[in-house]
Amino acid sequence: MTEQFDTFIIFILYLALFIYMARTILQSVQDGWNMVAVFLLFWTIQYLIVPLSMILNDTIFFLDYRVLDLRVESGLDRFYSYKSFAVSSIFLAFFFVGVYSVRQKEASEYILKERTISIFSRDINLLSLIGLFLAFLSLASVFIYASQFGSMHRAIMAADAVRSGHGDEFWISKTYIFVYRFIPFSILSIIIFFLLENNKGFWTKVMLWVALGVTLFSRLALFKSKQAIIELLLLYLFYLSFKNKKSYLFHFSMLFLFAIFFLPALESYLDTGKFVISNPMNVIQSIFNMLSFFNFDQTSLEFALNKNYDFVYFEGFISGLRGKFIPISWLTSITGNSMITNTYFFYNFNEAIVPPGVVAFGYYNLGVIGVIIAGVFSGFLVKKIEYFFINITSNNPKFIILYAFIMTKVFTWVRTGIPKFTFYDTVMVVLFLVIILGYEKRE
């Protein structure tokens, strides 16, 4: 009886906070989405909707926890508690502290003009040239990557194995395997296409179609990343929202339905060749199937609160540089990483990848103090970036596409809590360099 009462109280607490957050988000997006609202939306899904769904499952639906991709032998009988609610609430409170600590500065009025270079006495738009190069680089990388395995089919098998953490044997003695890092650059060419508002000639259109083809193929077939597919859809919806100053709640609702019914069907088709759509009559089952994509943040938080381990003291900000900005052979003594710890608690080995999520990231690093630091840092950074893009897009509206792209990284940060996947993301760093090279400042 006591356990049932505790579950009821926990449910009421989560539900009350969910209602408050839903009202806050809806009020915030009346004139279009903003970065704070997007962060809160994804945070609400991960840390409120998921535990609510788990409670409903345990008390009403009684679906097997394997439906949620969870293992009951992990040592926890449930994946929600007073403690995890309290820690999530602490993070949220200090996130708002970080948000309200930022003050908007008066915008500097300047225009960014596209650079041109002279080739054979002809002025060429440098940004267009970079975009075309990146599009064909990503296309060539797909074929070079596939050639390392003898066929595209085996390349896809290798990508599947590596994604699950068991594919090192596929990569041994592959001389040009590093080119897989260039495949995601196709998204940069798509972004550049939107930036080239007044330059939509033949080669610009070629750049778009090549980049779009590589982007879709790599996300749907080669790497089969549901997160990458969702990020691509979010990129376009956020772009429309910022451009037209509308929230497009209906469109985002349709994206939610797409995630429920069609992403699992698409994954089934890519794995088995059979396109199996969830039964629309069994909505509850479909929703739980979709939530299996989001559940690991809440689960990771319970692991962080209940397992024994040493704090890693934010070493992920340093170790995440390896393989991104410095050789992977450097800093080998720095092994502290919340993702490694979290993965071990999930599977009892470290080869796979299970990110902890932003709240558990803080707790793995320094307990409640780490959660407070992560909350303030996230709130401050998100609001600072929001003000920056409000200022720059007021004079340069075409940069809305950059704002939309950065917004998708908010989704990645909330969901993973891993600096390597967000702040050190290769595509984002290269995009920053492209903007520096492709534009010059005009007062």
Listed residue (104, 115, 51) closest to 297, CA to CA: 51
Q: Say whether pLDDT at 12 is over 90.
A: yes
Residue 233, judged by CB atoms within 10 A of its CB (0-12, 13-18, 19+), counts as middle
Q: Say whether pLDDT at 123 is over 90.
A: no
Confidence of residue 72 (pLDDT cuts 50, 70, 90): very low
Q: Say whether pLDDT at 140 is over 80.
A: yes
Structure-token pair, residue 113: 């003009």
CB atoms within 10 A of CB 248: 17
Q: What angle do CA 289, 293, 297 make, to 5 degrees?
A: 125
Q: Say whether pLDDT at 31 is over 60.
A: yes
Q: Say whether pLDDT at 331 is over 60.
A: no
Confidence of residue 303 (pLDDT cuts 50, 70, 90): confident
Sequence-distant (6+) residues with CB within 8 A of 44 are 18, 21, 22, 25
Confidence of residue 374 (pLDDT cuts 50, 70, 90): very high
Lowest mean pLDDT among 16-25, 31-40, 156-165, 388-397: 156-165
Beta strand ranges found along 70-194 (DSSP E): 111-114, 116-119, 122-125
**Residue 25, pLDDT score:** 92
Share of the chain above pLDDT 90, in %: 23
Residue 298, judged by CB atoms within 10 A of its CB (0-12, 13-18, 19+), counts as buried
Confidence of residue 66 (pLDDT cuts 50, 70, 90): very low
Q: Is there a contact between 96 and 421 (Cβ–Cβ < 8 Å)?
A: no
Mean pLDDT in residue range 253-275: 65
**Partners of residue 322 on adjacent β-strands:** 326
Confidence of residue 348 (pLDDT cuts 50, 70, 90): low
Mean pLDDT in residue range 122-136: 88
Confidence of residue 67 (pLDDT cuts 50, 70, 90): very low
Taking CA atoms, 66 is separated from 132, 288, 294, 307, 339, in Å, by 45, 10, 14, 21, 22
Listed residue (219, 209, 194) closest to 142, CA to CA: 219
Mean pLDDT in residue range 416-432: 85
Sequence-distant (6+) residues with CB within 8 A of 367 are 311
**Partners of residue 123 on adjacent β-strands:** 118
